[in-house]
Amino acid sequence: MDIKLAVLIDGDNIPSAYVKEMMEEIAKYGNPTIKRIYGDWTKPHLSKWKNMLLENAITPIQQYGYTTGKNATDSAMIIDAMDILYSEKVDGFCLVSSDSDFTRLATRLREAGMKVYGIGEKKTPSPFIVACDKFIYIEILKNLVEESTSESTDKKASSKNNYDKITEKDIKLIATTIDDVADDDGWAFLGDVGSLLQKKQPNFDSRNYGFQKLTPLINSIPDFEIERREDTKGRMKLIYVKTKEKKSKGRKR
């Protein structure tokens, strides 16, 4: 059963270009029963949002900027989030912003037992990212759109070059996570590995590296091996992963 989500968007801090893909992404994690976007709609820079709000049934919330240099939008979003929390109408929140001002809000919502998803640009400060259960970069959605609309192979290749490269730090994170949930033989169920990776690093996403799923990502790294096992309870195959043992070099006499 889908969890009910409140989607709160910081209109001053998020580009409007990929709102359709953003809402499709949010639908993977729950049913967005409340959808609101905050900003000063008298300002011309928010005009690009207007048609998209109708198409995606997002309610605009008008918030005037009372003082120069102060973001009234953040305060309005935070107040609404707490009102929604106490109404007990949702099971989780999706906070769409690249602003670290929402770090405390995300933390408070999780303390109340809410599931919190964050969506923002890669410039989002780390404190807000780690305060969420999961954080998705808008750049992922941008790359996926470019790939789906790209007609030439050259354009697709160029788009893929925008993804992050797998670093030694990433490989170490995966290896230690496998070790944390592995059995005595070193094999770990991939579903458990994925869940723990998300807890350790909320912005960990195989799509950051150009892979739609975790399986092909791990399969692309020579340090790991994958084994598919028959599920005795069903027809699906269960995927297990193991860190390959490094061959030790023999001593010279």
Please tell me whether residues 232 and 129 are part of one structural domain.
no
- Residue 68 has which token pair? 């120069």
What's the CATH number where 11 sits?
3.40.50.1010
pLDDT at 44 over 50: yes
Please tell me whether residues 112 and 200 are part of one structural domain.
no
Question: What is the CA 159 to chain-centroid distance, rounded?
Answer: 19
Q: Side chain identity at 190, as an amino acid letter?
A: L
What pLDDT score does 19 carry?
87
Quote the CA–CA distance of 111 and 93 in Å, as a whole number. 13
The answer to whether the pTM exceeds 0.85 is: no
The torsion angles phi and psi of 6, rounded to 5 degrees, stand at -100, 120
What's the CATH number where 201 sits?
3.30.420.610
Q: Rg of the chain's alpha carbons, rounded to an integer?
A: 21
Q: How far is CA 148 from CA 121, 126, 152, 153, 159, in A?
A: 20, 30, 11, 11, 10
Whether 43 is in a domain gets the answer yes
Quote the CA–CA distance of 18 and 249 in Å, as a whole number. 52
Give how many domains the chain has, as a whole number: 2
Structure confidence by residue, pLDDT tens digits, 161-204 = 456 788 999 999 999 999 999 999 999 999 999 999 999 999 99
Structure confidence by residue, pLDDT tens digits, 46-87 = 788 887 888 888 999 887 765 444 466 788 899 999 999 999
